[in-house]
Amino acid sequence: MKFAIWGFQSDAEIKSYVGEILGKLLDEGHELFMLDSFAQQIECDNLQVNIITENDIPRDTDFIISIGGDGTLLSSAQAVMRTPIPILGINLGSLGFLTTLERDWRSGLDDILKGHYRIDERMVLNCRLEFEDGTEETLWALNDVVIERADVFNLLATEVRVGEELLNRYLSDGLILSTPTGSTAYALSAGGPIIDPSLEAISITPISPHTLSVRPVVLTGEKSIYVTLSNPEGLAHLHIDGKNTRHIDGSIRIRIRPSSYRIQLVVTPDNTFYEKLRKKLNWGQRST
């Protein structure tokens, strides 16, 4: 099999785990590729590992193995956004909602290599920036599209339409437009709902809204969502999955809808969304 090893953080623990994973996969005769920046960070000098850039991932790669936390997996998702390469996440971070294996990854990896896994397809947002001169830029988000105020002293005024119909004019610190996958990320901390990732839905969660009656809403994704700044001279920051920041103003219209692409996550048969919720959020456990 062919694996691409992905990461962007390094410490003694990560170096140790990566060395063990590389040794295991190479001993079993697999072909390995590693992101150049990650190889440099962990000081990988194994001549059997092919060093590549994020634009050179072979299209016939069987899995990307993301080593880190959710942020690492999100960055690997950006690299394979329009290719059918599944991602296997090994969590060496803190929470790890998107990853499949934890620090005791060995038996789980053995099962996956034997074919005991399933593919969990996750919805992606297509975010198109429409500029005043008629040009466009398209970005994709596995977790969320966040529009936040650029002026720390003033609230951000935005207008949101679903198709041609006005949904609301928000006065807040910003908006989070989230996939079901991203519903357990920034949107959750801002008071948004948890959404089953099998649904094709988009949640809109205002960040610290000026009016308390303004609540998060969940939309079906059947219609495009359009966001503009209400003030033509307003400024804001747009973030895609916590990265890919763009500076926007009142002349730009943002269109958000479900993408035709899907991100494929490799999961073990017993790794279900509800089991992960109970485990990661400590549901059903009494505080001491």
Mean pLDDT along residues 129-144: 97
CA separation for the pair 192, 205 (Å, rounded) = 6
CA separation for the pair 66, 18 (Å, rounded) = 10
Q: How confident is residue 128, by pLDDT bands cut at 50, 70 and 90?
A: very high
Q: What are phi and psi of 204, to 5 degrees?
A: -115, 115
Q: pLDDT value at position 7?
A: 93
Q: pLDDT value at position 51?
A: 95
- Domain(s) labelled CATH 3.40.50.10330 in the chain stretch across 2-117+268-280
DSSP bridge partners of 250? none
Q: How confident is residue 287, by pLDDT bands cut at 50, 70 and 90?
A: low
- Domain(s) labelled CATH 2.60.200.30 in the chain stretch across 124-260
CA separation for the pair 41, 205 (Å, rounded) = 37
Tokens coding 100 = 């499949």
pLDDT of 199 over the 80 cut: yes
b/e for 258-288, b at 16 or more Cβ within 10 A? bbebbbbbbbbeebebeebeeeeeeeeeeee
CA dihedral sign of residues 205, 203, 140, 71: positive
* Helix (H/G/I), strand (E/B), else coil: 260: strand
Average pLDDT of the chain to the nearest whole number: 93
Mean pLDDT along residues 143-161: 95
Q: pLDDT value at position 8?
A: 85
Q: Comparing 133-137, 156-160, 246-250, 270-274, which segment has the lowest mean pLDDT? A: 270-274
183 within 8 A of 195, measured Cβ to Cβ? yes
Question: Which residue type occupies 81?
Answer: M
What number of CA atoms fall less than 13 Å from residue 157's CA on the CB side? 7
Question: What CATH class is the domain 2-117+268-280?
Answer: alpha beta
pLDDT tens for 62-110 read 999 999 999 999 999 999 988 889 999 999 877 889 999 988 888 899 9
CA 35 to chain centroid, in Å, comes to 18
> How much of the chain, in percent, has pLDDT values that exceed 70?
99
Strands 2-6 and 63-68: parallel
CA distances from 230 to 157, 219, 238, 255 (A): 5, 22, 15, 15
8 within 8 A of 68, measured Cβ to Cβ? yes
pTM here is 0.93
pLDDT tens for 201-238 read 999 999 999 998 999 999 999 999 999 999 888 899 99
pLDDT tens for 256-282 read 999 999 999 999 988 889 998 998 888
CATH match for 124-260 among 2.60.200.30, 3.90.550.10, 2.60.40.420, 3.20.20.60: 2.60.200.30
112 within 8 A of 266, measured Cβ to Cβ? yes
CA separation for the pair 80, 97 (Å, rounded) = 19
pLDDT tens for 24-58 read 999 999 999 999 999 999 998 888 999 999 889 99
Q: pLDDT value at position 288?
A: 59
Supply the residues annotated as catalytic.
Answer: 70
Q: For residues 133, 139, 145 and 147, what is the CA-based torsion angle, rounded to 10 degrees?
A: -30
